Amino acid sequence: MTDNIFERRKNNYHILMLAIIASLVLIAFKLFYMQILSADFYRKASEENGIRMVPILAPRGLIVDRKGEILVKSRASYSMYIVPYEVKALDEVIKRLADVLEIDPTDLRTKIKVGWQGKFLPIRLIRDVDFKTVAYIEEHELDFPGITFQVESTRQYPENNMGSHIWGYVGEVTESELAKPKYASYTIGDIMG
C-alpha cells in the first residue's frame, strides 16, 4: 500500500514537471517568435508609438490705457515646424515646401541645419504663416510628412501707436545671442523679450 501511494505521488510529480516544462517551452517559443521572427513588426509599432513633447507658448494679454483703449493686443498666428524623424525624403519635402511658400529651398535647408537638435525635436521653419498656406499643406499632408503647425500668439500694435519700445516686444533668439553665456538655456527658435 505504501508503494502504491509512493507510485501515485511519483506519477503526480512527473505530470507536474511535464506541465511546467511544457509551459516553459511555450513561453520560450512565444519569446522567440516575438523577438526574432516578428522583430520588424514590433520595432515599427514601437517607433510609431512615441510621444512628442511640444512646448506651448503662453498667450500674452492686452495692454490698455486708463480709458480702456487697447494699446497692444495679441493675435493668433501659425508657425510651421518640421520633425526630421518623420521625413524620409527631405529634399523632396523641402522642394515642395519651397514651391508652396515661394521661397528659396536653400533658406529652408539652412534653417533645418541651424535648428537641428536631434531628429525627434521639431525645428521652426517659418513664423506667421497665412491660413491659406496652412490649409493647403494640411489638406495635402501626405505630400508634406513631418510638417506640423502650432498656433502662437503674435503682438499687434494698433495704428499710430509708436510705443512698441515701451510696451515691449518679443522675437526669436538669434545665433549671436545663443553664443553668449547669458542665453545658454535657450535654443534656436525660442522666443524671448
Q: Which helix (H) or strand (E) holds 42?
A: helix 39-48
Which residue numbers in the chain have pLDDT < 70? 1-3, 48, 50-55, 159-164, 168-169, 188-189, 193
Residue 24 has a pLDDT of: 96
Question: Does residue 33 lie in a domain region?
Answer: yes
pLDDT in the model for residue 160: 67
126-151: per-residue pLDDT in tens? 888 999 999 999 999 899 998 999 88
C-alpha dist (Å) from residue 70 to 74, 75, 112, 163: 11, 13, 38, 12
Same domain as 22, residue 73: no
Residue 134 is assigned to a structural domain of this protein: yes
Are residues 71 and 36 located together in one domain of the fold?
no
38 and 74 inside one domain:
no
Cα separation, 54 vs 57, whole angstroms = 10
pLDDT at 184 (0 to 100) = 76
> Phi/psi zone of residue 171: left (φ > 0), alpha (ψ -120 to 50 degrees), beta?
beta
Could you identify the residue written with the cell 519635402? 93
Q: What pLDDT is stored for residue 81 in this prediction? A: 92
pTM over 0.85: no
In a domain, 55, yes or no: no
Structurally, the chain folds into a number of domains equal to: 2
Cell of 65: 490705457
Q: Residue 54: its pLDDT value, please?
A: 65
Q: What's the pLDDT tens digit per position in 72-92?
A: 888 888 999 998 888 888 889
Q: Is residue 58 part of a domain?
A: no
Does the residue 172 lie in any domain? yes
